[in-house]
Amino acid sequence: MTRKHKQHKTLIRRIKTYGRYLRKSLASPKSISALAVMVIVFSFILIKVNDDKNIYTADLLATIAKVESNDNYNAYFGNASNSQILFTSMPIKDVLAWQDDFVAKGSASSAVGRYQFVDSTLRGLVTQLKIDQNAIFDEPLQDKLAVALLERRGLREYVDTKLSREEFAHNLSKEWAALPKAIGDNPQQSYYAGDGLNHARLSINEIFSSIDTLRKIN
């Protein structure tokens, strides 16, 4: 049984329970209060179901991956075409160990994978999402981690029209240095321009077009 089916069955069970309670409560002098409570409860359920809806992110992820790693799940800083070190077959703990060693040997960055996760970001995501470090750093997991970063930078707020396209693009530029910062002085530049490592590799119109593809799906 899928997660969606389980959620649906749970919702139906709750509705039936609250329905029985409502019929009983309406027979009492406190019927108006009971009805008010039920309205609040059902509103909460509907909000919860709505919050669980997925968001289509494939186009935006592909755009980010194109400029961060040439769409290579095994890329690492300085070697976007890597095919010798297979991060997609390694447990997360081994990827983290590799990053530590890579930096210890003098690399200016520890970025790895399709979305160029640096070690501190990867560790933070693993903790936030409660992912076992023995989990394999494969393609689906990398995509999942990238979506978590989109959400951290305002994905749901943007889809719910609480954040403008320009603001969301700017937030993304703080996460991925190859994206233009979109607002402020020299909006076409990377948020990290001048650090000697990063520069924008995408136009503002390109990131805007990809952001425009975001939408809620059932």
Q: What is the pLDDT of residues 128-168, one digit of tens each?
A: 999 999 999 999 999 999 999 999 999 999 999 999 999 99
Share of the chain above pLDDT 70, in %: 75
| Predicted local distance difference test score (pLDDT) of residue 130 | 98
Contacts of residues 93-96 at CB distance under 8 Å and 24 or more positions apart, as own/partner, are 93/133, 93/134, 95/122, 95/137, 96/122, 96/123, 96/133
| Predicted local distance difference test score (pLDDT) of residue 197 | 74
| Predicted local distance difference test score (pLDDT) of residue 20 | 52
Calculate the alpha carbon distances from 191 to 156, 172, 198 in Å: 22, 9, 9
Token readout for 93 is 């703990």
Task: Give me the residues of the chain with pLDDT under 50, please.
Answer: 2-8, 10-12, 14-15, 17-18, 21-22, 25-26, 32-52
The beta strands (E) that lie in 170-214 are given as: none
In the beta sheet, which residues pair with residue 56? 215
| Predicted local distance difference test score (pLDDT) of residue 24 | 52
| Predicted local distance difference test score (pLDDT) of residue 37 | 41
User: What would you measure as the largest C-alpha separation in the chain, in angstroms?
Assistant: 76
What is the 3-state secondary structure of 61-86? Answer: HHHHHHHHHCCCCCCECCECCCCCCC
pTM: 0.74
Calculate the alpha carbon distances from 82 to 61, 92, 100, 101, 218 in Å: 20, 18, 18, 17, 36
Q: How far apart are CA 197 and CA 60, in angstroms?
A: 23
| Predicted local distance difference test score (pLDDT) of residue 22 | 45
The chain-wide mean pLDDT, for the chain, equals 84
